[in-house]
Copies of this chain bind each other. A is one copy, B any other.
Amino acid sequence: MMSWVNNRRSTRLDVRDRGLQYGDGVFETMRVHNGRVRLLAYHLERLEAGCRRLQIKVPSARALRHELERRAALRREAVMKLIVTRGSGSRGYRPSGAERCTRILTLHPLPPSLGDAPVRVRLCATRLGENPLLAGLKTLNRLESVLARSEWSDAAIWEGLMRDAGENIVCGTMSNVFLRRGAALLTPRLDRCGVAGVMRRWVLETAGDLQLRVREARLRWQDLSQAEEVFMCNAVVGIRSVAVIERGRLRLRARSFEAANRLRARLDSL
């Protein structure tokens, strides 16, 4: 792993940083492909939206873009993670407004098993708490994802689906979910909880080109069971077809991988 703190090679952070103290910050996990960051503009836009919501002053998008492009060029294929925190502060929840944000950039090898084969996923017991103020953001408050991902250790299960307290399917621990019925493509609304991934945004914006009518909705287990096709997506792996969804001993099996295959072909051509 290579790492930079505020654009300098470093592996160390001030313990007073509010990113550690309170999870007071946001992050982006990006795919470096052929030495370039895939969907970089989307990542920068979401990062800025998150900082705006938390009232964290971000460095200029242009300077940040330049920094990310320069680091991405060091590797042909990699995962790049950028954390932006509110910076160091004195004790107490209230930001003084005088903090200067901290940028922590790391480059990692690609995860193993990035193949295209349809995956097994499971329904998690851990629920997502609802908070409209933070919904959709990729903040550093990720304990629910940690607890959900800790529920299983079977490497054959790629991902877990998470629900809110009201049984609505929201997203995976590290990905978003889509289901298809005919030409209708549906994905959970993320106005109360969940992370709105950049790959989810790309699918929402691209589906129309592939003659799919896409829509955000409240979705439940029953909607999954009635779907012809289910796929999940994130910035690192792209589009991943789901073959099986497990809920205890119950198994949902998908019959089609068609939309995911077409979307993946489109993504690979970017």
Q: Assuming A20-B19, A22-B145, A24-B142, is B91 touching A79 (CB within 8 A)?
A: yes
A248 within 8 A of B: no
Given the interface contacts A15-B12, A134-B143, A143-B141, does A21 sit within 8 Å of B83 by beta carbon? yes
Q: At the interface, yes or no: A174 with Cβ under 8 Å from chain B?
A: yes
A114 nearest CB across to chain B (Å): 14
Residues of B within 8 A of A22 (CB): 23, 140, 142-143, 145-146
A33 CB–B CB distance under 8 Å: no
- Assess whether A253 is interfacial by the CB under 8 Å rule: no
Q: Which chain A residues in 87-103 approach chain B with CB under 8 Å?
A: 90-95
Q: Which B residues touch A149, using CB under 8 A?
A: 92-94
User: Out of B16, B83, B85, B173, which one reaches A93, CB within 8 Å?
Assistant: B173
In the assembled complex, A156 has its CB within 8 A of some CB on chain B = no
Residues 7-23 of chain A, each 1 if its beta carbon lies under 8 Å from chain B, else 0: 00011111111111111
Query: Residue A106 at the B interface, CB < 8 A?
Result: yes
Complex contacts, A142 vs chain B, CB 8 Å: 21-24, 93, 141
The reply on A131 being an interface residue by CB < 8 A is: yes
Q: Say yes or no: B13 contacts A15, CB within 8 Å.
A: yes
Q: Which of A37-45, A67-75, A122-130, A207-215 lies at the interface with chain B? A: A122-130
- Residues of chain B within 8 A of A90, CB atoms compared: 108
Task: Give chain B residues whose Cβ lies under 8 Å from the Cβ of A19.
Answer: 20
A137 to chain B, nearest CB (A): 9
Q: Is the CB of B130 within 8 A of A130?
A: yes
Report the Cα distance A10→B131, complex, angstroms.
Answer: 36
Instruction: Please name the 9 residue pairs, one residue from A and one from B, whose CB atoms are nearest each other, closest first.
Output: A129-B129, A23-B23, A141-B141, A93-B149, A129-B131, A22-B142, A12-B12, A94-B149, A20-B20
